[in-house]
Amino acid sequence: MRVLLDEQLPLDLAAALQGHSVDTVAGRGWTGITNGELLRRMEGEYDALVTMDRGIEFQQNLTTVAVGVLLVRAPSNRMVHLQPLVPAPAVLDALPTLKPGQLHRIGG
């Protein structure tokens, strides 16, 4: 699966998502663009966006986008808080089942 990590997520998370092709917003030079523009740029290049931006589901009509969105809920964006959410049955199981236009929440 082709995955894009949103700009607030650490680069270390990319290495933890084994079995997936992972890029970052910063690595693509897309830092600071709006969520709507980000989702448009992802079309045809990515299958999923992994984000901690809880507002994305209220700002965007996700049912019309060509990628799935995995919303990670953790106390912070530090790997100490994100790492427990990666192994099955969380992030690694959720990514392959994510469909375009779907939002899936992981964590508390």
Is 50 within 8 Å of 105 (Cβ atoms)? no
Kindly state the DSSP code that residue 85 receives in the 8-state scheme.
Answer: G
Identity (one letter) of the amino acid at 63? T
pLDDT number for residue 27: 95
pTM of the model: 0.94
| Cα distance between residue 66 and residue 83, in whole Å | 27
pLDDT of residue 102: 96
pLDDT in tens, 56-80: 999 999 999 999 999 999 999 999 9
> Are 79 and 13 spatial neighbours (Cβ–Cβ below 8 Å)?
yes
Where are the chain's structural domains?
Answer: 2-107
Cβ–Cβ < 8 Å for 92, 86: yes
Q: pLDDT at residue 13 above 70? A: yes
Place of tokens 């998370």: 13
Residues 81-103: what's their mean pLDDT?
A: 91
How far, in Å, CA of 100 to CA of 65, rounded?
A: 6
Which residue(s) pair with 24 in the sheet?
Answer: 5
